Amino acid sequence: MARHFLILVALEHAPDVPAVRAVLDRWGLAPSETDPLLHAPDGRLPVLGGEATAIETSWLGVGATSVYLQVHDIAANEEQCRLIFELAVAGRLILGVEPGPPHLVVCGGTHEAEIVVDDTRPPELETVCFVDTWEQLHRALTDADGVV
């Protein structure tokens, strides 16, 4: 089974930082005081779908105007995909995926196809996926061809 590294970033408009904070609160996750990783209430890495899940985040305190999240070396199990989908939709963030395909994922109709381009790849190798549900995100990341 492939392991993934994901980055969630804003593309053409400012992210909704308070909405990202609200999702993290619902999931019981908070930034650490000593490192950039999110932690569960017990101070450990969150366990999602039975897997310890390292999620690095930018500073999200009062006054934060941008957000990025990096999700390190995950299987993209169902629970991980639920959280990632919620964060992407709430924050209006796009997902960069390594290894792809897909290379970019747009969740919940937050971006128009015309503006979603992966400048790091030649157009013939670029795979952008648009998903409407966390289940579709899960399939995009775990199916052999990476396409829903």
For residues 95-112, give the mean pLDDT.
83
- pLDDT exceeds 70 at position 116: no
13: helix, strand or coil: coil
Whole-structure pTM value: 0.88
- pLDDT exceeds 90 at position 148: no
Among 92, 86, 76, which Cα is nearest to 140's? 76
Q: How many domains does the chain have?
A: 1
**What residues make up the domain containing 64?**
4-142
CB count within 10 Å of CB 42 equals 9
In a domain, 147, yes or no: no
In a domain, 148, yes or no: no
In a domain, 95, yes or no: yes
pLDDT at 1: 65
In a domain, 35, yes or no: yes
E strands of the chain, at which residues? 4-9, 30-31, 38-39, 47-48, 51-52, 54-57, 68-74, 94-98, 104-107, 128-131
Structure tokens at 136: 């579709």
In a domain, 54, yes or no: yes
